[in-house]
Amino acid sequence: MIFERRLAFLQRNRWRLFVLVGGYGLLSGAISLFVPAGWWSGAYSGAVCVGLLWAVSWFASLDGTLFARAGSWAEEWTSQALRKNAAGCAVVDDVPLGGRNLDHVLVGPGGVVAVETKWKSKWRDRQHKLKDLELERAQAALQAEELQTILHSLGHSVRVRPMVVAWGPGIPTDETFVGFGAVGMLVGDRWRDWPERALARDSLSPHDVEEIAMELSRFAEEYSMPEPSATRKTIRLAKALFAPALNR
């Protein structure tokens, strides 16, 4: 979990953060002695607050979660693209499966598709092909089987097809959809070119689509771990930063 990793990072480095904030406060306080009163003073105070927030945000960004956060952004992009391009379909995000979440489930007239989103910071070279993502494709296939078992337990005998959506700079392929056996691959940043053949094969009625989507949504709500609220995050962050110092 990204928040947990950031929380642990700030707790380990809380004294560095205190030094950063303290040094920033001393420097800005010293400079304020030379700022004229009136409008300039107000503008300077606002700039100091913005600068402090930027400095803390920059420090927190050193927690090593950049790739995880980029993966979360890519999942949002995939969800938006599916909802925009798959007419007559329903999209259910973050369906819990065997200790981890399936990124998206697409339910539509063409059937059910288990969609995994993968983001890479860079590709090795122009010879790197989507077919080289064997681990990612195997994971998507396994999750499609798990989802199919869950749907059967809910009373829906429907086949689930796996699909991987790849995001990242310089994906070296001219194909918008590539089929590798039972697993399909889509290029994320070319979502406007996603063909209908990648999203349709079997036949489900509108009633089936609505029923399956509703039951999957209920399943996801029941078994997903709730995300802590902003208030809880703030309290936990304050405890992580200040409680160890106060207990000494």
Q: Minimum mean pLDDT among 32-36, 66-70, 143-147, 152-156: which range?
A: 66-70
Residue 202: pLDDT band with limits 50, 70, 90? low
Tens-place pLDDT, residues 157-193: 888 889 888 887 666 555 666 666 678 777 776 766 6
CATH architecture of 67-223: 3-Layer(aba) Sandwich (3.40)
Torsion of CA 147, 173, 171, 194, to 10 degrees: -50
End-to-end Cα, the chain, rounded Å: 29
Please state, in angstroms and as integers, the Cα–Cα distance from residue 239 to each residue in 10, 14, 187, 231, following that order. 11, 11, 43, 12
Q: Kindly report, as residue ranges, where domains of CATH 3.40.1350.10 are found in the chain.
A: 67-223
What whole-number distance in Å separates Cα of residue 187 and Cα of residue 164?
A: 9
Share of residues in the chain with pLDDT > 70 (%):
65
Q: Tell me, what's the pLDDT at 147?
A: 92
